[in-house]
Structure formats: C-alpha cells, structure tokens
Structure 1
Amino acid sequence: MSAVIAETSLPLEDRGLAFGDGVFETVLVRDGRPMLWEAHLSRLKRGCRRLGIPLPAMEAISELPGRLGEGQHVLKLIVTRGSGGRGYMPPSSPEPNWRWLSVPFTPRASCWWEGVRIRQCDWRLAIQPALAGIKHMNRLENVMARREWTDPAVAEGLLCDTHGDLVEATSMNVFWQREGRLETPCLDQAGVAGTLREALMTRHPIKEVHCPPDILGQAEAVWVGNSVQGLWPVIRLDDMTGEALHQWSLGPIHKPLQVTAHSLLGYPLPAVSGA
C-alpha cells in the first residue's frame, strides 16, 4: 500500500529544516481514530509554548486523522516556527508552518510475545531542562545513538545523560519493576515524555527516579515502549560490545502493564509465556 502524503514540502529557509526549530508528533491512527490523541495534542501545545511558537489552527489539525480512512496508519505531524529572522535570531512575529505525512503501519507484533534484546549506547544526551520532555525536531542525539548498531537482533538502545543517569531508549521510554515497584526515569533534565508513558503513569503507580543504568540489574522485569509500537518486554540487555549484562524470563509479571498499554492503543492483549 502506498503512503498517503499531503503538505510535506517546506521552503529551504524554513527554520525547522534549517535549525530543527519546531516540534512534531507521531500518532497511531486506527480506522480514522487517533490513539491517545488528546495527549498528543497536549504535548504539541506544550512544546509550542516552550519554544515560543504560535499554535497553528488546531481545528484543521484535529480533522486530519479522520481523513486517513480505513486501516492502521502512523500520522506524523510537524509544526515549525516558519521562515524569517536573521541567522539564529527568530522573527519577532513568526508565522508557523505545519505539515503532515501518513503511512500505513504494521507493528512488530513478535516483540510483544517474544520480548526483545536491547543494548547500552555510548552516546550521551545533553542536559537541558528547558527542552526536557517535549518532542522538538532536533533529534540528532537520537540519530547518533541509533548509528551505534546494525544487528537486527537488537531492537533498541538505552541512552544516559552526561551525568550518567538513565533517560530513555532511542525511540522509546523505559520502565522496570524493582522490589515490586514500577519505576521509570525522571525526564526533567533530558529525554522525551512519551504519551504512552503519560497514560501508563495515570493508571499505575509508576515512580520517576534519577538512577544509573545499573539499576536494571536489580529489576524483576523491564519494558520499552511508545505510543506506536506498544510495550515490549525486555529479555536481554547487552553492553556496547554485545556481551550480555542481564537477562530476564517472560512471565506473568510482564502482563499487567502490557494489558494497559495495548488496551489504550487497540492492540491484542499479550499472552506471554507463563501467564
């Protein structure tokens, strides 16, 4: 099936293209119905406010998912500051651009049932509290981290900040259970606060913590997830050389968090081994 594309071209002088001066959202849409839509719009607005970009016409944006028709799609929505200004200095009265792209989508369902292998990344995220949490367009740090491996058996890479605290995976948030408690990295210094993460935190007692990645060695279960792929249980964590650091068996402990995540996204409920 071919991609559904509209309003994707930007002028070369657009500040989003030139400087990453903008925000974006990536939304799972099922038969014209966007999953976690209010959370995506809320983060889009929050990002625009943080960067001082005027909000585009939200009525037009809100109509987009319904135009995609039947089937499962991923909708990428981009809002930039637009053109103008001089060098890095933005225009005093910016006129934002917004563009979108939709592509048919099939999730990696085997990752739900079989679990995934992940690895540590050498790249470190810069600490910048003013940008922490929002999904701004300057994602070069994530790109550089994702360059570190090509092995298809490795599904994700874990990123720490320059202080050594665990932050996120390259395109997912991280969760674990330790001594019976659900935890996730605190994202007040770096990282993207995912919409699935937000939804799970309103439904489960998940504590935000500042900690090094070594804490995963104390975990009974680990997951990575986002609002497009759902929640993947982790069965193995490698170091940067490919040597296994920790391994976990799939079991009933993984199921409650996955059931909530997949209910929110309309995916099949997991039936992990031993559940």
Structure 2
Amino acid sequence: MAAPSPTEPAGWPLDDRGAAYGDGLFETLLVRAGRPLLWDEHLARLARGCHALGIPMPPEHDLAAPLAEAGPGLEVLKLTLTRGSGGRGYRPPAAPAPRLRWQLAAFVPDSGRWWNGVRVRLCRLRLGLQPALAGIKHLNRLENVLARSEWQDDAIAEGLLEDAEGRLVEATAMNLFWRRHGRLETPRLGRCGVAGTLREALMGCLSLHEVDAGLEALMEAEAVWLGNSVQGVWPVAHLEDVEGRGLAVWPVGAAHRAFQAEAHALLGYPCLP
C-alpha cells in the first residue's frame, strides 16, 4: 500500500472514494487552547478503522498538523481520511493513496443541556447489523442522517436508536449510558454503532458494563445519560416514543451529576452542583 499523502487543502475531487462511496473514516475532537482532548483514544479508534477498511494509517505528525493553527479558545477539529481516488467501481485500488483533510472551527457547548437535562425520542429507523464495521467511525452515515430527519422540533435534543433485533445501541450522534439497580451500563457495540472516545475513556476509569438490552433497561433505570467527546454529558430528563408520547421521566439529581463529573473532568468541562 502506498503511504498516506500529507494533509491537502479543502475540496474533494469527484473521483474520491470517500465522496463517492463513503469509503473512509473521520474523527471529531475537542481542542482546548491548542490541546486535543482524548487524543490517544481518537488515534486508537482511527487506527482500528484503518485496519478494518484496509487504509494506511497516516503518521501522527500529519494528523496533529492542524493543531498548529488552533487558537486560545475552544474549538472542534474534524479529521477526514478517505481511501483516495482510483480503483474501478466498488473495487478499491490495490495500492491506495489515502487523502487526509481537516477542518477547525470555534465551538461553544450547550451548557443548558448540562444543567437541565434533555428530551429525547425513540427513532423508527433500526440500525443494520454489520460486525465488520461496528465501533468505527466510517463515512457512510446514512442511517444516522435518516434517523435525525425523523424530527424537526428543536426541543428534542436527540433520538435513540435500536438495532434490527430491538437492542439499544446509541443516539444519532452520542453514546447512551444508564444506571440500573445501582450499576452503570452502556450498550454493547459488537454488531453496529460507534464506540465513542468519551465512552472508551469512561470505561477505563469507571465500572461501566457493556450489555445487550432493549428498551426495558431504560424503563428500569434510575438515571440515563447521553455523551460524546465534544458535547460532554447530557442527563436525559424525558423520553418519548416515536409518536411523541411520554415513556419515562428522570428528575436530574445527584446520580446524574456524579457520572457527568467523571466525564467532564476528562474534557475540561465544569462539574455541576
């Protein structure tokens, strides 16, 4: 395989396989005063994705190059790696020349959702089962796009996704966590879904159990959260079904704050009283 090319300016050629087929990967990470948060976890997930897709992993200095342009505040860096151009139809080139692009943008988190919790709904769309792609952040995210198109009400912060067999997986852009019978749990992601870097870091510092569970787990839960490495952790206060009917309510309290504090310490976000 050819070595990855260095970072290129914005813009995709029409024959780029990432644009044509979703043949690539991306990472979205929080940058605080030029320092990337959960950098090791992002690099590890990107490496797993490269291995799964057979794309050469770029050297770390190429991936870190955009940080030289970071400002003093809070920003989000998106790294996009494709297989590049070439091949015939779906057949990939024998020696891919990956293409790395990036975008750095100022960011302000929605702190109101930290404090007050969020309203979420179940999605009609069910995620397909594909263990070969489970856990990685590949570019083909049409399932997430279709799920997110199910509602337009800005009061609904997220949608929860089940797989084709009715197991809880994630939200459209965040991982899912809950406490049930005093135990912290999160869906197992061996069949589909994205293994978030905040989720990975929390599994290293908390007793967080991966489980196969359906909606009944949330009905038994004492507290529920959504989280990712950019937004931090949102307590879930209200859950609705696909028709907007209420299913459960969780008053935001001390249990929510304890888990949130663990996550926010990893991202430099405030721990709330």
Please state which band the TM-score falls in when normalised by the shorter chain: over 0.9
Mean CA deviation greater in 189-198 or 37-46 = 37-46
Aligned to 2:225: 223
Superposed displacement of residue 250, structure 1:
1.1
Match among 37, 46, 50 for residue 35 of structure 1: 37
Aligned to 1:124: 126
SS in 1 for 2:125: strand
Match among 195, 207, 210 for residue 209 of structure 2: 207
Q: Deviations over 1:108-147 (max 9, x none)?
A: 0000000000000000100000100000000000000000
**TM-score, scaled to structure 1:** 0.95
The one-letter amino acid paired with 2:37 is M
- In the TM superposition, what are the counterparts of 1:62-77 in structure 2 within 5 Å? 62-77=64-79
How many residue pairs match? The answer is 266
Superposed displacement of residue 268, structure 1:
1.0
Is the CA contact (8 Å cut-off) linking 1:113 and 1:270 kept in structure 2? Answer: yes
Aligned to 1:149: 151
Is the CA contact (8 Å cut-off) linking 2:66 and 2:104 kept in structure 1? Answer: no
Aligned to 2:262: 260
Match among 3, 13, 23 for residue 11 of structure 1: 13
Superposed displacement of residue 214, structure 1:
2.2
Alpha-carbon distance in 2 for matches of 1:73, 1:267: 13
RMSD: 0.9
Alpha-carbon distance in 1 for matches of 2:71, 2:173: 27
Is the CA contact (8 Å cut-off) linking 2:26 and 2:138 kept in structure 1? Answer: yes
Q: Deviations over 1:220-266 (max 9, x none)?
A: 00000100000000000000111110001111111221111111001
Structure 1 gap ranges (5+): 1-5
- In the TM superposition, what are the counterparts of 1:38-117 in structure 2 within 5 Å? 38-117=40-119
Alpha-carbon distance in 2 for matches of 1:60, 1:169: 31
Superposed displacement of residue 176, structure 1:
0.2
Superposed displacement of residue 65, structure 1:
1.9
The one-letter amino acid paired with 1:10 is W
Alpha-carbon distance in 2 for matches of 1:52, 1:152: 39
SS in 2 for 1:202: helix
Is the CA contact (8 Å cut-off) linking 2:127 and 2:192 kept in structure 1? Answer: yes
Q: Deviations over 1:17-71 (max 9, x none)?
A: 0000000000100110011011101111110111000122321212322321211
Superposed displacement of residue 215, structure 1:
1.4
- In the TM superposition, what are the counterparts of 1:239-254 in structure 2 within 5 Å? 239-254=241-256
**TM-score, scaled to structure 2:** 0.96
Superposed displacement of residue 219, structure 1:
0.2
Alpha-carbon distance in 2 for matches of 1:70, 1:257: 28
Alpha-carbon distance in 1 for matches of 2:180, 2:237: 15
Superposed displacement of residue 106, structure 1:
0.3
SS in 2 for 1:220: strand
Is the CA contact (8 Å cut-off) linking 1:33 and 1:66 kept in structure 2? Answer: no
Match among 21, 24, 31 for residue 22 of structure 1: 24
Q: Tell me if 1:196 matches 2:198.
A: yes
Is the CA contact (8 Å cut-off) linking 1:118 and 1:157 kept in structure 2? Answer: yes
Superposed displacement of residue 8, structure 1:
2.0
Between the two proteins, what is the percent identity of the paired residues?
A: 57
